[in-house]
Structure 1
């Protein structure tokens, strides 16, 4: 026994080493058609060698021939498994038929090996879908293939079941166990090498179990339980039947021997199925299975003490047996018996055959149902989940179209109806929000001065401004107003962010700057006070860049301050627009206590001032190229001599043309001022 275990372990180890070596060599390579054939040939030769170098176990020869096509087909490619199986199976039939090597089991062995390659192909493509089997499934595959091998021995020898049982009883357990272990160890080592090993008995925290896994586990438990209970019940019935047949056989044999003895056949020869001894009173056996032997006094005492008793269980010749003792004459005793091996061989053979048939039936049912569940249920659930992922990611036009069954069709319809209802709610909400944003935009636009005419003073200066929000409402604003009769303030600002939050902060900023400007003070003081006010309660941490200029229409002196805003452009009479790189401070609402630096610009009649927000220089086209300050200056100088009522629309069109199909990502606001004459 120990020698057999060591030899079978060594053969398993050789298979494992070969598989690991080939897999490591080919793991990062695509196996070519030639490579698939070569792998099939390698494992086919391994299968052939298993036939010729088996392991002696009693009077039988053990091998792991079926491991070769299974390993090739499961761990490499289905074609390789088929080639290996055909090579090993056909060669096994040839040597069994023409060279007498294992001729008794040649049909079962060759069919099993050939079939192993096709089973590996089917499992690889339909069940494992090109992936390596887990250790549990690998063991299951190897063991079940050998179960079929043993079952095929019974099927192919229905006329000689006793010899078939002898072969199966000797070979089945070691070949089933070692075939399963070899494939399982291969799977474990390959998973460890690939970094995919997971303890099958320990689930990771938070790991969910799929429907397929849950179903397969319960299917396994329930099916195995039913089959086991059925097997035990059948075994009990077969045991009772064996006892009844044994009793009947003993009684029949005893009666026949008595009749033959009365007919004068005192020294009759037992038939093949007859177990009896005719014993003289001195213990000498004169007829029967053990003719010529002598029984001890102790045995003779037991035999003579059981004369005319009912059939009883006792040891005879070292074997458990059913026994019956009768007197043939005053000197001769008839012992009719049935050894347990003879009594139960048919029951045991049927038990093996039933167990193998149940395992194969279970395997077919398990694999078929698991496959159907995956195809009919799990696959459709996955399709629905894919559609739901698209829907949850915002694609409400996705339609669930899984209609393989009435249940899935109903589920698809329910999901589609729910999405349609949701789209209706969203559309209604969007319409409501859009209407509210229109109102908000109207309110925001009405807060900006839109009257650019100053009756009686239009000959002194020109003002024109525009604001185009990137969204329905924006964070930019402009403003102009008189701080006294001959001083006009020009303001332009840009709030961080966009949309409703920016619009709200814009209103607050505009109000603060205007209220402080109208109470008097220099541009620097106005922005300082506005900054401190905006810092209060600024939980959203927003900020606003601002530029303010107060023009004295009597002298042309413009006092300015810049809180992080874009540089203004100045055009002198008969000159071009140029960038004035003024002194910046931090944006308003960024840090409390900041006092922007102030500077002066001397304006003369005919001079123009153009201020804007970063929506112009930072505009981006389809090639992700910025409009830029240089382009701004070049473009505005093309219309430098026109009035701002023409310049601003021209600039707006230029930016739109540059942007093309790219989205406007920031508000665009412009303010132009031209001093026409000084007030006297």
Structure 2
């Protein structure tokens, strides 16, 4: 017995090695073909070629099967499944038809596995169509995950084994023998081969995800969570039903065995009185009549002999209840009775005989349950995806558009009362929101108009001083990119006979820039009216603006204080654009003055002050960066050179005409492009010096 066990173990190891080798060849072929064809368009020729290649693999699996326990094992169904799942459904169907039809021909005309030819050929042909169905409807053209690939390979072989039972209802004992030997190796290796293909292809394509990561939490979709619970609950129900049926069948088989032993014992005793030693065992009878020397004089093992120790054990069991024991190399249920003179009757039934029908029924039930589970699982998962998940995705798609600002999007999922109600609620909410937004926009628009009015009123509009109309000409304009802006200009008396000019540009736009602009304008004017120099004004205004500047805004400023009696103008530039200067009789030129940092950039900023001496007829034009940085539809900037050309074309005109001419040229240059920054200009001409 020990020698036979060791031989069987070695035989099983050899089978495992051969099946592993065949699986590895399938995996290697699939990986090679995938790398070869991954960047090529799937033409019909390629699909046909793949179908032929995998079809030949299926044929080779038939004729190069693994011999195990007087049965032939193969992985024929892996070929059409691999072709259909990882490449193209057409290739899978072609491969399945080639492998299945050839298998039927080989079994019918050449005697290759003729007993299972119908089951084998049917499962292989069907494998290609199953791969097509799963590829198109469940996986939606994507590669299956390793778990699904394992499931697909295993279930296909389960169907294969189940058809063996279905096609041999009149020979269940042989069908059970075939299935009990072939099922587990073929199911396991088919699933493993496809799963390994999926793992390797996902790693090579960069799609690999750890299946055990993020198994809970918000990253798990409704579909995945539903499928897990469906799998768990269905498995528990089917396993419970199988276990209950198995227990009932075991009890029934055991009771039938006991009854059979008792009937056989009574029958043998009555027949023994008539025929004595000529008594023989019928087909379903298991008994032995043993004399006092251990010789078997009648029964299944007539003319055999048992050893003395076994004989003593049997004699000790005489007339007792049924017991379990191993005789004649089989474990069996036994009963010993006395018969004749000094002889015993051993009536028994081997467990292999007692439980074979239960085992066959268990295999068939398990296979049927797995197939039923698969159909239920796939069908319910598909229906949930089509009826629920796809509609949720449509609603989420519409919600994404709505949250991104498209309030004209309408949710139109109406294939059930629940989704219709949800769609109506969302659409009604959006309509209400649009009403609130419209009201808010109107209110904000009114407030912005009011803010613009306030801001514009803070800028000087009276460009003529009654006492200076013969000495100086001033004109300025400010056009905000939004309702309110961050640019400003100012001119005012900064002492007797001194006129201050200011132009500034606050970082940012809109309300925050306008508020910072008002603060900056007030600070600059306050320090200037105290008689401070431009450098001192820059220093003190900078420290004032740095205090409490949590928004980290800044402002560029150009300040000039002109002494109208001497023509000397003291200036300072804190990060602002270069001014344009035109001396009497000449052209406007760019004056590259000394810069310091913008105000509010850092504390204790010291500006570089400089002087310009003006004579009657000299002009100065200052502006913000909204002019040179204006962009047209071709993303080209207006630039300082273009500004010089434009202003020099109207250099002899008064500033009341110069500034509108520049504005018109900028608008013409910009075309349909949007104004993205405020545009502010200030120009003045010294016409004559003032008498002391």
Q: If the length of structure 1 is used for normalisation, what is the TM-score?
A: 0.91
Distance in 1 between the 2:607 and 2:24 partners? 84
Residue 610 of structure 1: how far off its partner (Å): 2.5
Q: Is the 8 A contact 1:524 1:598 kept in 2?
A: no
Distance in 1 between the 2:540 and 2:200 partners? 74
The question of 1:442 aligning with 2:456 is answered no
More displaced 10-residue stretch of structure 1: 188-197 or 124-133: 188-197
2:97: which partner in 1? 86
Cα offsets for 1:52-88 (capped at 9, x unmatched): 1212212211122112222222222222222221111
Cα offsets for 1:259-300 (capped at 9, x unmatched): 656676973554322334455565554543333334455555
1:100-139 alignment to 2 at 5 Å?
A: 100-139=111-150
Residue 608 of structure 1: how far off its partner (Å): 3.4
The question of 1:146 aligning with 2:157 is answered yes
Q: Is the 8 A contact 1:528 1:596 kept in 2?
A: no
Choose which of 19, 33, 39 in structure 2 pairs with 1:22: 33
Residue 330 of structure 1: how far off its partner (Å): 4.9
Q: How many residues were matched structurally?
A: 679
Q: Mark the CA change 1:416 to 1:262 in structure 2 (over 3 Å): closer, same or farther.
A: same
**Per the alignment, in what secondary structure is the counterpart of residue 485 of structure 2?**
coil
The question of 1:362 aligning with 2:370 is answered no
Q: Mark the CA change 1:544 to 1:6 in structure 2 (over 3 Å): closer, same or farther.
A: closer
The question of 1:503 aligning with 2:514 is answered yes
Choose which of 152, 176, 182 in structure 2 pairs with 1:171: 182
Distance in 2 between the 1:264 and 1:588 partners? 129
Q: Is the 8 A contact 1:586 1:596 kept in 2?
A: no
Distance in 2 between the 1:516 and 1:413 partners? 62
Distance in 1 between the 2:520 and 2:52 partners? 83
Residue 473 of structure 1: how far off its partner (Å): 1.5
Residue 165 of structure 1: how far off its partner (Å): 0.9
Q: Mark the CA change 1:308 to 1:579 in structure 2 (over 3 Å): closer, same or farther.
A: closer
Cα offsets for 1:336-379 (capped at 9, x unmatched): 43222222111111011001111111111112222222333333
**Per the alignment, in what secondary structure is the counterpart of residue 227 of structure 1?**
helix
1:216-295 alignment to 2 at 5 Å?
A: 216-257=227-268, 267=278, 269-277=280-288, 283-295=294-306
Root mean square deviation of aligned Cα = 2.9
Distance in 2 between the 1:154 and 1:82 partners? 25
Distance in 1 between the 2:149 and 2:220 partners? 21
Q: Is the 8 A contact 2:568 2:611 kept in 1?
A: no
Distance in 2 between the 1:226 and 1:300 partners? 49
More displaced 10-residue stretch of structure 1: 523-532 or 660-669: 523-532
Distance in 2 between the 1:147 and 1:98 partners? 26
Choose which of 588, 597, 600 in structure 1 pairs with 2:609: 597
Residue 203 of structure 1: how far off its partner (Å): 4.3
Distance in 2 between the 1:51 and 1:527 partners? 94
Choose which of 613, 629, 646 in structure 2 pairs with 1:635: 646
Q: Mark the CA change 1:603 to 1:542 in structure 2 (over 3 Å): closer, same or farther.
A: farther
Q: Is the 8 A contact 2:500 2:561 kept in 1?
A: yes
2:432: which partner in 1? 421
Q: Mark the CA change 1:477 to 1:342 in structure 2 (over 3 Å): closer, same or farther.
A: same
Residue 624 of structure 1: how far off its partner (Å): 1.0
Residue 304 of structure 1: how far off its partner (Å): 5.6
**Per the alignment, in what secondary structure is the counterpart of residue 471 of structure 1?**
coil
Q: Mark the CA change 1:337 to 1:589 in structure 2 (over 3 Å): closer, same or farther.
A: closer
More displaced 10-residue stretch of structure 1: 407-416 or 221-230: 407-416
Q: Is the 8 A contact 1:565 1:584 kept in 2?
A: yes
Residue 175 of structure 1: how far off its partner (Å): 1.6
Distance in 2 between the 1:94 and 1:114 partners? 13
Segments of 4+ moved more than 6 angstroms: 204-207, 262-266
Distance in 2 between the 1:609 and 1:314 partners? 122
Residue 475 of structure 1: how far off its partner (Å): 1.6
More displaced 10-residue stretch of structure 1: 182-191 or 308-317: 308-317
More displaced 10-residue stretch of structure 1: 533-542 or 654-663: 533-542
Q: Is the 8 A contact 2:560 2:572 kept in 1?
A: yes
More displaced 10-residue stretch of structure 1: 152-161 or 661-670: 661-670
2:408: which partner in 1? 397
More displaced 10-residue stretch of structure 1: 116-125 or 631-640: 631-640
Distance in 1 between the 2:613 and 2:162 partners? 106
Cα offsets for 1:20-67 (capped at 9, x unmatched): 322333344444322222222222112111111212212211122112
1:339: which partner in 2? 350
Q: Mark the CA change 1:334 to 1:646 in structure 2 (over 3 Å): closer, same or farther.
A: same
Choose which of 607, 616, 625 in structure 1 pairs with 2:627: 616
Q: Mark the CA change 1:679 to 1:339 in structure 2 (over 3 Å): closer, same or farther.
A: closer
Residue segments in structure 2 that go unaligned for 5+ positions in a row:
1-11
**Per the alignment, in what secondary structure is the counterpart of residue 454 of structure 1?**
coil
Distance in 2 between the 1:213 and 1:129 partners? 16
Distance in 1 between the 2:308 and 2:572 partners? 134
Distance in 1 between the 2:209 and 2:547 partners? 57
Distance in 1 between the 2:683 and 2:192 partners? 87
**Per the alignment, in what secondary structure is the counterpart of residue 666 of structure 1?**
coil
Q: Is the 8 A contact 1:464 1:644 kept in 2?
A: yes
Q: Is the 8 A contact 1:560 1:601 kept in 2?
A: no
Distance in 1 between the 2:72 and 2:251 partners? 34
Choose which of 660, 665, 670 in structure 1 pairs with 2:671: 660
Q: If the length of structure 2 is used for normalisation, what is the TM-score?
A: 0.90
Distance in 2 between the 1:305 and 1:580 partners? 129
**Per the alignment, in what secondary structure is the counterpart of residue 640 of structure 1?**
coil
Distance in 2 between the 1:551 and 1:319 partners? 124
1:10-49 alignment to 2 at 5 Å?
A: 10-49=21-60
1:351: which partner in 2? 362
